[in-house]
Amino acid sequence: MEVASAVDPPSWFRYAAVAKREGRELSLAATQPATAELLCRSLSWVGVKKLDMAWMYILECKDGSYYVGSTTDIERRVRQHNQGDGADYTARRRPVKLVFATEFVKIEDAYTAEKQVQGWRRDKREALIRGDYDVLPALSRKIFLKKSTDDEIRSAPVE
């Protein structure tokens, strides 16, 4: 599945060296499969497994709007959205296109990020999609307009 923009998470643990001891599964976390394989060989453990990761994602809908969600299986979830089995919002705006995705270790963290991004304005979401992370703080600031007093309105020139 192709993602237009994605953030590669910083050295989060994606793989584990796995051992079965006395009916229990033990694991040591690693960031790369080669590291996990090396751990397996040095400890005489049984194998490497990819850890379940969670995703926060942004879809662009046919009408140009954005949908923000979270899941543990990004490919399945995008397929569901395009089949009309995802959210009601995307079912009425198909087809959808995955434009941003980022991984999290826990689904709770992905869900928290989802809720945060859902509260963002369109321009801030688009900066995230573009990978323009430097402008995100500036887009967080509210713009306050000076309230006009009745006197200022009365004295304003009429064109």
Buried b (16+ CB within 10 A) or exposed e, 8-47: eeeeebbbbbbbeeeeeeebbebeeeebbbebbeeeebee
pLDDT tier at 53 (50, 70, 90 boundaries)? confident
3 state SS of 26 = strand
120, part of any domain = yes
- Whether 136 contacts 100, CB under 8 Å: no
| CB 37, CB 133: distance < 8 Å | no
Same domain membership, residue 44 and residue 111:
no
The first and second tokens of residue 81, run together, are 């959205």
pTM attached to this predicted model: 0.62
pLDDT score for 129: 93
Q: State residue 147's pLDDT score.
A: 66
Average per-residue pLDDT for the chain: 75
Return the pLDDT at 5: 36
pLDDT digits (tens, 9 = 90+) for 72-88: 888 899 999 999 998 99
The pLDDT assigned to 89 comes to 95
Query: Which of the four pLDDT bands, split at 50, 70 and 90, describes residue 51?
Result: low
Residue with tokens 């694991």, as numbered in its chain: 27
The pLDDT, as a whole number, for residue 6 is 39
Give me the mean pLDDT over the 91-97 stretch: 95
- Residue 3 covered by a domain: no
Q: Cα–Cα distance between 23 and 39 in angstroms, integer?
A: 20
Residues 108 and 58 in one domain: yes
In this structure, the answer to whether residues 104 and 31 fall within a common structural domain is no
How many domains does the chain divide into?
2
pLDDT (mean) for 21-35: 58
What residues make up the domain containing 44? 11-50
Same domain, 44 and 78: no
Range with the poorest average pLDDT among 2-6, 72-76, 96-100, 115-119: 2-6
Q: Is 103 exposed, middle or buried (0-12, 13-18, 19+ CB in 10 A)?
A: middle
- Same domain for 69 and 134, yes or no, is yes
Summarised one tens digit per residue, pLDDT across range 110-132 is 999 999 999 999 999 999 999 98
